């Protein structure tokens, strides 16, 4: 019987160093790409969260103004609707809680009231964030509020 030693050399087991290095490079590029996309995704989540909080603040201000008599200031310091007011600033913390000053505030809501005769007013709300920054994000909200009469 003849044994062939050349056959055992050609059927070796395992990977060469070049194959391992190449596969590690491919996996490394994939991981770096995924980590780069994670920061973009987290920024998107943060922006969505801020946009949601801004909408809640604006809707609370509108509801507060709608639920208050036409010629009375609201609890959140929005002036009466029968007086023209420009740039009435209101400040809010990151969680949407009102705060009296800019110190510590994250959102700034600028409320403008434009009376529309007879018995209505346009309420313009501009919400900016971060409140104490020169570079801010801005969302605008407009609504018309009419005086209600009871008979």
Is 151 inside a domain boundary?
Answer: no
CA distance 125 to 145: 13
Is 2 inside a domain boundary?
Answer: no
Q: Which helix (H) or strand (E) holds 6?
A: helix 6-10
Return the pLDDT at 128.
92
Is 96 inside a domain boundary?
Answer: yes
How far is the CA of 37 from the CAs of 24, 85, 132, in angstroms? 20, 45, 29
| Residues in CB range of 143: below 8 A, 6 or more apart | 62, 122, 123
Is 30 inside a domain boundary?
Answer: no
Peptide bond into 130 cis (omega under 30): yes
Is 10 inside a domain boundary?
Answer: no
Domain hosting residue 94, numbered range: 39-146
Number of domains in the chain: 1
pLDDT, one tens digit for every residue, the chain (151 residues): 555 555 555 566 788 999 999 999 999 999 999 988 888 888 888 888 889 999 999 998 888 888 877 777 777 777 777 666 666 888 999 998 888 888 889 999 998 888 887 778 888 999 999 988 888 899 999 999 887 655 4
Is 22 inside a domain boundary?
Answer: no
Using the 8-state DSSP alphabet, how is residue 113 labeled?
Answer: E
**Beta-strand relationship, 98-99 and 107-116:** unpaired
Is 6 inside a domain boundary?
Answer: no
Is 34 inside a domain boundary?
Answer: no
Return the pLDDT at 119.
78
Return the pLDDT at 114.
86
């Amino acid at each position: 019987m003849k044994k062939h030693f050349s056959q055992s050399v050609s059927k070796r087991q395992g990977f060469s160093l070049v194959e391992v290095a190449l596969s590690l490079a491919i996996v490394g590029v994939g991981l770096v790409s995924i980590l780069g996309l994670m920061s973009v995704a987290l920024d998107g989540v943060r922006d969505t969260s801020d946009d949601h909080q801004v909408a809640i603040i604006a809707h609370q201000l509108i509801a507060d103004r709608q639920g208050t008599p036409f010629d009375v200031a609201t609890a959140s310091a929005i002036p009466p609707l029968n007086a023209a007011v420009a740039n009435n600033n209101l400040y809010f913390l990151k969680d949407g809680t009102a705060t009296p000053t800019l110190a510590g505030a994250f959102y700034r809501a600028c409320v403008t009231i434009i009376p529309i005769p007879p018995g209505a007013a346009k309420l313009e709300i501009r919400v900016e964030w971060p409140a104490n920054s020169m570079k801010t994000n801005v969302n605008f909200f407009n609504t018309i509020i009419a005086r209600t009469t009871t008979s």
